[in-house]
Each structure stands twice: as C-alpha cells, then as structure tokens.
Chains A and B, each alone.
Chain A
Amino acid sequence: MFHRLPVPDGETVSFTIDGTPAEARVGDTVAAALLVNGVPHCRTTPVSGSPRGPYCMMGVCFDCLVTIDGVGNRQACQERVAPGMRVATQMGSRELDR
C-alpha cells in the first residue's frame, strides 16, 4: 500500500469506507485515500470477479470504479474526498439501485 511522506500538517477530512470511519488529507482523491487507508482493492470485475485497484490515476483505465454516496461506477481517481463521503468498494457491475 501507500504511506504519506512527512509533510506540513494539512487539514484532514473524515469519510467512510464500506461503513468504517477513515481519514484523508484535504485534496486527496478517493483513490489516494483508499490506498493510504490500506484498502487492497476497490472493486471486483463484472467479467471474472477478479480484484482491481487504481492503475492509471488519471481517468484513463476505469479500474478504480467505486460507489460514492450511493452512486456506482464513479472513478475514484477523479473525485476528491469530501467530509462525510460514503465510499463503498464495488463488487461486480453497477446495479440498478446504485
């Protein structure tokens, strides 16, 4: 996983990952926040169910898809963590209710 270099204190932001409270630094993308919180993979694929994590970090690969505040298929590398945000790892394809 990833850890943060010693940097000047930044503002932290609280959110949840699959219901578990977590913290990130203001400005972190959701993908960065998942990596620094030790989440091994953010989704499984609809085709084979294999685990995937962030790969390109610039919106190209769509491997970091997660559910954010109830909406599925969001690109974790393109969204910033917001206070109280509910991030959920996404198993398989997006479903009708998210």
Chain B
Amino acid sequence: MTASPMTSQKPADLVVIGAGPAGLAAAALAAGHGIRTLLLDEQPAPGGQIYRGVTRTPIGDPRVLGPDYRRGQDLVAAFESSGAKRVVGASVWSLTRDAEAGLEIGYSVAGAGTLIQAPRVILATGAMERPFPIPGWTLPGVMGAGAAQTLLKTSALVPDGPLVLAGTGPLLWLLAVQYVRAGVSIGAILDTTPRANWRAALPHMAGFVRSSYAIKGLKQLREARSKVRVISQVTGLRALGSDRIEAVAFRRGDGAEERMPAATLLLHQGVIPNPNLASAAGCAQDWNPDQLCWMPRTDVWNASTVDGVWIAGDGAGIGGAIAAEHQGRLAAVAALSAMGVLDGAGQDREAAPIRKALAGATRGRRFLDALYRPADQFRVPEDDTLVCRCEEVTAGQLREAVRLGCTGPNQTKTFLRCGMGPCQGRLCGTTVTELIAAERRVPASEVGHYRLRPPIKPITLAELAAVSKDDIPAVAAER
C-alpha cells in the first residue's frame, strides 16, 4: 500500500465526522452560518447507514425502500447546497486532545493518512446492530438484518432461499416488509420478543400512540404478518451447519422444538451506539439500563465530556433517524455559540424550534425500548456460545475467567485475548460487560467497558511511519 506523507493542518473551523442524518444536518446548519465546515465520512456517498446509498440506489421502485428512506435525499440536498466541504472514503482512526495543539483528527483515504487540527468536532458516528450471540452465529450465511438491508439499498441484492429472519425490533419488521414488496420469499420470521415485555411497555403506551411510529409500525406488522409465517416467543435459537448455515433450530412459545432449513439467517435485536471513536477520544460513558448499552455522557447541548467535542445522533444514544437530525442541529448551534458566531440569546432562539421538533421525534421511544428489550438469554448466552468472534472466546470461558478473579472487560483481554482481535471489541463489548455483570451479580455500570485507544481502525505501519515527528498526535486524550 502506498502512503503519502501525513501533514497536520487546519482546514476547517468545525469538523463533523459521519454523514448520516446527524452529521449531514449539523454540517449544513453550521456551513449555512458561514462557518468553514468539513464533513468526513467513511462511505463513498452520503447517507450514513439509515440512508445508505440514498443518492444512488439501483432500486427503482420507491415502494420497496419506502418514503422514510427518501427523506435522506432532502438532507443530502440541504448539505450539498450549504457550502460545507466533505471528504468521502475517509476512515477516521483517531481523535485526540492535546493541551497545546487542541483537537487533532487522524484519518486515511485509500491508504494515505492525514492529520488535521480541528478547533471543534461533532461526532455523528451512529449506531451498530446489537450483538446477537447464539450458537452458530459465526457460520457463513448468518448475518445482521441491517447488513442484509445494506446489500438491498446499495446493490439491490436479496438472499436466495430458504430465508429466515429472527429477533426483535422495528428494523426486523421493516426489512421483512421491504423483502415482501420486492417479491422475496421469507420462510419464517422468528419473533424473540418476550411476552413479558408488553407489561413493561404498557405504561408508555400513551406517548407511543401519539408518535409517528404507531400507525407506521402497526401497518408494517400487519403487512409482514399477512404474507409471512411468524412464530412468536421464540427461545433457544441456534444456527446449524458445518461450513455454512443449513438449518435453524429453536423452541416455540408453546414449548415445542422446531427445526427448519435455512441458507440465510438474518438476526436483529436492536441497535446500540457505535462507541469506539468517542471512547478512544476519552469521552466518558455511562451504562443505560433501559437501552442496555454504553452511552457517551452528553449535556442538553449534546456536548461530551471532552472540551470542544459534541456527539449527536444514535452515537449518543438510540433515538432514531429523525431525532438524530435534530440533535445534529442542536450540537451545531452549540458549536456556533462556542465559536462566538451566536450569543447566548441567539443560541437559545435558534435552538427553540429544534428542541420542539426533537421532543416530537423522541416521543414513543420509551415504549419501543421496553417492548423490544432483547431477552436476557440472547444478550448473555449459554456457555457453548462464542462471544468474541475474532478471538473465538466462549461465554463459558468468560465465566471461568470471572470465577478466577477477572472483574471487568479489560481483564478479559489479558485472561483470554477476548476483545483483542481486529474488531477491537466493537462487537463483543456489550455482551462481555453484561455477562461479567450477571456472573458477578453487580450492575453493568460497576463492571465497566473496554478501554479503547487510537488507532481505532487498523492502519499499516507504512502509513504511521509517514507521519513526521512533529505531527505525531498526543496519544490517549484526557481520561
């Protein structure tokens, strides 16, 4: 891989990382105020994951992906006319804060690294699918439902049969409806939502029925159920096969064991903030017991605990695409105020309509969180299930390590190499925290999370060696 020498420069007054709804909205608002704004994004086209490929999807029939998806086109258009600059295909591998130099961002495009100084940064790095550790989940042919949706949006690819969807949460039903409309045959949807969740969700029903999710969600459920066999209260789910998935086995709500052939199994049980960049930058995180995930600590302006860094969108806690937009705008307003572009009164004036819209967009979320809370057995798996896919560490090995005195995720690295593979603990981190907490019978907040350090994406030694000495970033920010 060739690498050009890295240079440290200050190309913008505000750098936004991530071109999903939060990042696009934040960058457009800031640039609209005349601020030199730079958007860095990993993908070749804007949209993030929720609006992935929105400007160039090969799917012609608008019914398949639905009207919510097309909202992304407006966001992209507003961004493109705002005057903000962008770098596409930019993989950000570090964000550090140095007392003298301020914030510094390291990123690579096609193997060439660059370091830039950034007075203010908005992180809009979005969400990832929650891990769904079941026996056999590493077999080829088992994928995330979100992953399959990405293939649909960007390449119009759909699975050959027999196809099984399993799990819980709005995205699972949305994908099922998109497949039905595209003429894809689904063998079954295995619904893992525990019946008891309804009891917990009921007190939040009033907010939900007034939300935009209610009618839309019920319509999707009805459409999917009318076309596909849905099996409720599924437990004991496992993927079977030797070199790839061949079948799915599970227990139905009535207690009967069932097995069905599957060439593709798509798993989903919600999304969680993608934690790595914020965590490696030293932003404090708290365990959210309702959403069952680590969340960066942010104030009412979406400011993180690191000076000059705001976090907006699902990366700051799951609120959905519309809430992400508004959070991005709030963070941008706060950044403008910090730069002196807006005074205190101007900040509040700009923020008022955004806050109102944000409140509307988050209405109904507590109901969804409670209803689609993933079952304990699919978050804290049995002993024979792999937790760390990279280093192939099982739940049983982790429990044994806890019995030997391992108290938290960072120790599992030394005990078992758990979380030390190429994904750097992205995928197993939540499971490891919850499993250790369950085994120690303490809250997850007491167990803690993986300590992450830059680079958060693998980069070659050649890229690193090309940094001149003056440009080496401060390692490890405030923590």
Name which of B96-104, B286-294, B386-394, B406-414 contacts chain A.
B386-394
A53 to B140 alpha-carbon distance, docked (Å): 5
Q: Which residue of A lies closest to B140 (CB)?
A: A53
Cβ of A12 within 8 Å of any chain B Cβ, yes or no, is no
Cβ of B160 within 8 Å of any chain A Cβ, yes or no, is yes
Cβ of A71 within 8 Å of any chain B Cβ, yes or no, is yes
A79 → B minimal CB distance (Å): 10
Number of B positions contacting A (CB below 8 A): 48
Contact string against A for B residues 130-166, beta-carbon threshold 8 Å, 1 for contact and 0 otherwise: 0000000011111110111011001111111000000
Our pick among A51, A57, A59 for the contact of B143 (Cβ within 8 Å) is A57
Q: Which residue of B lies closest to A55 (CB)?
A: B143
A52 to B53 alpha-carbon distance, docked (Å): 26
**Are A3 and B158 in contact, with the CB atoms below 8 A?**
yes
**Are A48 and B182 in contact, with the CB atoms below 8 A?**
no
Cβ of A1 within 8 Å of any chain B Cβ, yes or no, is yes
Name which of B55-63, B77-85, B296-304 contacts chain A.
B55-63
Our pick among A10, A29, A40, A71 for the contact of B140 (Cβ within 8 Å) is A40
A97 to B274 alpha-carbon distance, docked (Å): 33
Number of A positions contacting B (CB below 8 A): 39
**Are A56 and B157 in contact, with the CB atoms below 8 A?**
no
Q: DSSP majority for the A interface?
A: loop
Our pick among B44, B151, B423 for the contact of A35 (Cβ within 8 Å) is B151
Contacts of B422 in A (CB 8 A): 62, 65, 73
**Are A5 and B154 in contact, with the CB atoms below 8 A?**
no
Our pick among A2, A50, A80 for the contact of B157 (Cβ within 8 Å) is A2
**Are B155 and A57 in contact, with the CB atoms below 8 A?**
no
Cβ of B225 within 8 Å of any chain A Cβ, yes or no, is no
A65 to B457 alpha-carbon distance, docked (Å): 13
Cβ of B238 within 8 Å of any chain A Cβ, yes or no, is no
**Are A58 and B154 in contact, with the CB atoms below 8 A?**
no
Cβ of B426 within 8 Å of any chain A Cβ, yes or no, is yes
**Are B146 and A61 in contact, with the CB atoms below 8 A?**
no
Cβ of B66 within 8 Å of any chain A Cβ, yes or no, is no
Our pick among A35, A48, A71 for the contact of B1 (Cβ within 8 Å) is A71
Q: DSSP majority for the B interface?
A: loop
**Are B392 and A45 in contact, with the CB atoms below 8 A?**
yes
Cβ of B34 within 8 Å of any chain A Cβ, yes or no, is no
Contacts of A35 in B (CB 8 A): 151, 157
Q: Which residue of B lies closest to A78 (CB)?
A: B42
**Are A41 and B140 in contact, with the CB atoms below 8 A?**
yes
- Contacts known (A55-B142, A58-B128, A60-B427); A36 close to B155, Cβ less than 8 A: yes
Q: Which residue of B lies closest to A3 (CB)?
A: B160
**Are B159 and A2 in contact, with the CB atoms below 8 A?**
yes
Q: Which residue of B lies closest to A43 (CB)?
A: B140
Q: Which residue of B lies closest to A2 (CB)?
A: B157
A36 to B264 alpha-carbon distance, docked (Å): 13
Contacts of B150 in A (CB 8 A): 57-58
Q: Which residue of A lies closest to B150 (CB)?
A: A57
Cβ of A28 within 8 Å of any chain B Cβ, yes or no, is yes
Q: Which residue of A lies closest to B141 (CB)?
A: A53
Contact string against A for B residues 402-428, beta-carbon threshold 8 Å, 1 for contact and 0 otherwise: 000000000000000000011100110
Within 34-90 of A, Cβ neighbours of B (below 8 Å) are at 35-36, 40-41, 45, 47-48, 50-63, 65, 71, 73, 78, 80
Cβ of B440 within 8 Å of any chain A Cβ, yes or no, is no
A52 to B141 alpha-carbon distance, docked (Å): 9
A65 to B389 alpha-carbon distance, docked (Å): 13
**Are A47 and B391 in contact, with the CB atoms below 8 A?**
yes
- Contacts known (A35-B157, A40-B140, A71-B1); A57 close to B151, Cβ less than 8 A: yes
Contacts of A61 in B (CB 8 A): 389, 423, 426-427
Within 181-216 of B, Cβ neighbours of A (below 8 Å) are at 182-183
Contacts of A65 in B (CB 8 A): 422
**Are B138 and A59 in contact, with the CB atoms below 8 A?**
no
A52 to B58 alpha-carbon distance, docked (Å): 28
Contacts of B426 in A (CB 8 A): 60-61
Q: Which residue of B lies closest to A65 (CB)?
A: B422
**Are A56 and B156 in contact, with the CB atoms below 8 A?**
no
Known A28-B154, A57-B151; further 4 A-B contacts with Cβ < 8 A: A27-B58, A29-B155, A51-B244, A62-B423
4 closest A-B pairs by CB? A53-B140, A57-B147, A62-B422, A41-B140
